[in-house]
């Protein structure tokens, strides 16, 4: 947990981090973000408010339907992602130094298995 606080002093949630990562690629409408992340619009709205309060995103009316808001990453949001990536890379170097090559391979296999299981559960819940 202490390492997470070093990387993420503002305590951005995983969902908020995912939103920022998507916005690093391009701007999105809220309905696109909620669909892409498989979350409700109300859950997305709460996360967007938090990111807006931190100054990491901005929103402006869409060209075609001014009731919809285009969500963009601000310069402060981009800086946050750059600094976070730098800290993640530092942690990766530390992890690589503390694990043998065999342990690293085992860790990768176990992590991939776990992610696959989580993805399958999520997809099964979506089809219900």
Q: How far apart are CA 24 and CA 127, in angstroms?
A: 29
Using left for φ > 0, alpha for ψ between -120 and 50, and beta otherwise, residue 74 falls in beta
CA distances from 81 to 23, 42, 112 (A): 11, 24, 24
Q: What is the mean pLDDT of the chain?
A: 87
Q: How far apart are CA 42 and CA 39, in angstroms?
A: 8
Query: First-to-last CA distance in the chain?
Result: 35
Most confident of the following: 35-39, 65-69, 73-77: 73-77
pLDDT at residue 1, rounded to an integer = 42
Q: How far apart are CA 123 and CA 61, in angstroms?
A: 32
For the segment 3-60, what is each residue's pLDDT rounded down to a tens digit? 555 667 678 998 999 999 999 999 999 999 999 998 999 999 999 999 999 999 999 9
């Amino acid at each position: 947990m202490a390492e997470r606080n070093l990387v993420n002093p503002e305590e951005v949630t995983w969902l908020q981090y995912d939103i920022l990562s998507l916005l690093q690629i391009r701007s999105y409408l809220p309905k696109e973000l909620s669909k892409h992340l498989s979350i409700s619009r109300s859950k997305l709205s709460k996360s967007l408010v938090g990111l807006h309060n931190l100054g990491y995103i901005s929103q402006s009316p869409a060209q075609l339907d001014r009731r919809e808001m285009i969500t963009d990453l601000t310069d402060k949001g981009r800086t946050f992602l750059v600094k976070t990536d730098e800290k993640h890379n530092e942690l990766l170097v530390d992890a690589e130094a503390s694990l043998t090559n065999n342990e690293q391979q085992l860790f990768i296999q176990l992590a991939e298995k776990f992610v696959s299981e989580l993805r399958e559960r999520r997809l099964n819940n979506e089809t219900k």
